[in-house]
A = this chain, B = another copy of it.
């Protein structure tokens, strides 16, 4: 990349740390910022540095937050008796946007994955266990993904909760609303069949 100078080469290299950005996208982004939107580029660099400086994790639920206690944990109107466990902060956002759930959250920041060296400590299971012990929690709602790792993580947490006599629920998995059976993948359909409910 020495054709255009070293600093452009470094920018192209740095852009590739973004997920889903390869050499071609990085080049397109760099040229766009340098040719057409230098103001936006400068703004992006500053916003990035500001967010990296300010954003930390909530000490109660591990979500991304600017303060030690996130806005959800600090909200006294939310039910302390319900605890929804999710994998990522974006899952919290999805649930907040789609449902009327008004309990608390716990964000694992991943899932159990022994092959990648991600064990219970990395997911803050000790913090979760402490919350199960001290907060008067009636129900733990497991909303981890329906992948092998997500299922294993849900099982691990359900053990934690059940040894403490806390009700544990798992969000429903099956045919999505508006889904046509013909086009549903066979794993989902098979799961939906096994999990059929009495009416």
Identify the A interface with B (CB < 8 A). 2-8, 10-11, 13-15, 17-20, 25, 27-35, 37-38, 40-55, 63-67, 70-72, 88-90, 92-93, 96, 109
Contact = CB atoms under 8 A, between A and B. Distances in A.
Contact of A4 (B41, B53, B65): B65
B109 A35 contact: yes
A44 B14 contact: yes
Report whether over half of chain A's contact residues are helix, strand or loop; otherwise say mixed: helix
A19 B14 CA distance: 16
A20 B25 contact: yes
A97 to B, nearest CB: 9
B51 A37 contact: no
Chain B CB within 10 Å, residue with most, of A4, A14, A70:
A4
Contacts of A38: 52
A39 to B, nearest CB: 9
12 contacts: A4-B55, A5-B54, A7-B47, A13-B47, A14-B43, A14-B48, A18-B44, A33-B51, A38-B52, A41-B48, A44-B45, A45-B45
